[in-house]
Structure 1
Amino acid sequence: MTNLADTLNQGDLRLRPPVDTDLPDLLRHLNDIRIVRWLAAVPQPFDTGAADGLLAHGMHAGENLRLIELGGSVAGGLCIGASLWYWLHPAFWRRGLMRRALDLAIPAYFTHPAPPLIATCHTENVASRSLLASLGFSPCLAGRRMFFQSTQSAEPCLDYLMAPEQWHLLHPPIIPVGRASLRPAQQKDARQLALILARVGGGVWPNADALPSFMENHRFRGQSRGLFVIIDEYRRCIGMALMTGYHADLCFLSDDDEARHRTNISAALANRMFSHA
Structure 2
Amino acid sequence: MMEKLPDILTDGDLRLRPLTAADLTVVTAHFNDIRITRWLAAVAQPFGPEAARELLAHGTYPGENLRVIEHHDRIVGGLCVGTSLWYWLAPEFWRQGLMRRALKLIITARFIGAAPPLTATAHVENTASRELLTGLGFSIFPAPRRMFFHSTQTSESCRDYVMAPEQWHLLHPLTFRAGNLSFRPARQQDTPALAQMLSTAGPGPWPETESLTGFIEEHRYRGSGQGLFVMSDDNRRNVGMALLTITGPQLCFLSEVEDIRHRVQVMDGLASILHTWS
Asked if Structure 1 and Structure 2 have the same fold, meaning a TM-score greater than 0.5 normalized by the shorter chain, the answer is: yes
After TM superposition, give the deviation of residue 266 of structure 1 in Å: 2.5
Q: Which deviations, in whole Å up to 9, do the C-alpha atoms of 1:36-78 show, x marking residues without a partner?
A: 1101111222222322332333322211111122333322111
After TM superposition, give the deviation of residue 172 of structure 1 in Å: 1.5
1:75 — aligned with what?
76
2:128 — aligned with what?
127
30-39 or 130-139, which moves further after superposition? 130-139
After TM superposition, give the deviation of residue 34 of structure 1 in Å: 0.9
Partner Cα separation in structure 2 for residue 200 and residue 107 of structure 1: 32
1:40 aligns to what SS in structure 2? coil
- Contact 1:3 1:112 survives alignment (8 Å): no
TM alignment of 1:123-272, pairs within 5 A: 123-177=124-178, 180-200=181-201, 202-245=203-246, 247-272=248-273
Partner Cα separation in structure 2 for residue 55 and residue 239 of structure 1: 47
Identity of aligned residues (%): 55
- Distance change >3 Å, CA 126–CA 268, structure 1 → 2: same
Q: Which runs of 5+ in 1 are unaligned?
A: none
2:113 — aligned with what?
112
Partner Cα separation in structure 1 for residue 235 and residue 24 of structure 2: 52
Q: Which runs of 5+ in 2 are unaligned?
A: none
2:277 — aligned with what?
276
Normalising by structure 1, we get a TM-score of: 0.88
2:272 aligns to what SS in structure 1? helix
TM alignment of 1:9-48, pairs within 5 A: 9-48=10-49
Q: Which deviations, in whole Å up to 9, do the C-alpha atoms of 1:174-205 show, x marking residues without a partner?
A: 23356642211122323432343354365212
Q: CA RMSD in A?
A: 2.4
- Distance change >3 Å, CA 7–CA 232, structure 1 → 2: closer
- Distance change >3 Å, CA 245–CA 150, structure 1 → 2: same
5-14 or 104-113, which moves further after superposition? 5-14
Partner Cα separation in structure 2 for residue 256 and residue 152 of structure 1: 69
Q: What number of residue pairs does the alignment pair up?
A: 277
Residue type at the aligned position of 1:229: V
- Distance change >3 Å, CA 235–CA 12, structure 1 → 2: closer
1:200 aligns to what SS in structure 2? coil
Normalising by structure 2, we get a TM-score of: 0.88
After TM superposition, give the deviation of residue 209 of structure 1 in Å: 4.2
Q: Which deviations, in whole Å up to 9, do the C-alpha atoms of 1:11-56 show, x marking residues without a partner?
A: 4332221222222223221122111110111122222232233233
- Contact 1:224 1:272 survives alignment (8 Å): no
Residue type at the aligned position of 2:273: R
